Amino acid sequence: MLKEFKEFVMKGNVIDLAVAVIIGAAFGKIVTSFTNDIIMPPVGLLLGNVNFTDLFISLDGQQYASLAVAQAAGAPTINYGVFINTIIDFIIVAFIIFLIVKSMNRMKEQPVPAAPTTKECPFCCTQIPIPATRCPNCTSDLK
């Protein structure tokens, strides 16, 4: 069983997948930083100095100055501001993946359509071989 596992791990697809997961995790951190540090501050400023990470609903009925204070007090919260940031992260990642897949599909070789092997008889409209000089169905001369 150990030998089979070693063969499985050493296949190229498993190694490629492992590299993709590592790069994807790093890419996710970059996108999260881009969202939290670049995108959301101007959006919050446009919406009246809103800090999205501090948008929450306290379920214990108390008022807290920030999410960090509420969490330090052990209050149960619904963190909808963090959820909005996560949705924006997802949209950015999905859009970038869409662009990558679209460019990969464009780079793939497009299949060359096969040359036609038949033509239509102008008299009876049946398909006949291109080199034919007489239609086998209506016996018309095709010169």
Q: Are residues 123 and 70 in the same domain?
A: no
pLDDT in tens, 104-128: 888 877 788 888 999 999 989 999 9
Domain span at residue 89 reads 2-110
Burial of 58 (0-12, 13-18, 19+ CB in 10 A): middle
What integer best gives the mean pLDDT of the chain? 86
What's the Cα-to-Cα distance from 126 to each of 73, 117, 129, rounded to whole Å? 84, 13, 10
Q: Are residues 96 and 126 in the same domain?
A: no
Query: Average pLDDT of 68-96?
Result: 90
Q: Are residues 19 and 71 in the same domain?
A: yes
Question: What CATH number did the domain enclosing 45 receive?
Answer: 1.10.1200.120
Amino acid at 99: L
Q: Are residues 100 and 33 in the same domain?
A: yes
Query: Average pLDDT of 65-90?
Result: 90
pLDDT at 41 over 70: yes
Structure tokens at 72: 């330090």
Contact between residue 111 and residue 122 where contact means Cβ atoms under 8 Å apart: no
pLDDT in tens, 84-101: 888 988 888 888 888 888
pLDDT at 26 over 70: yes
Query: Average pLDDT of 125-134?
Result: 90
Q: Is the dihedral of CA 40, 42, 45, 46 positive or negative?
A: negative
Q: Are residues 87 and 123 in the same domain?
A: no
Q: What is the pTM of this model?
A: 0.58
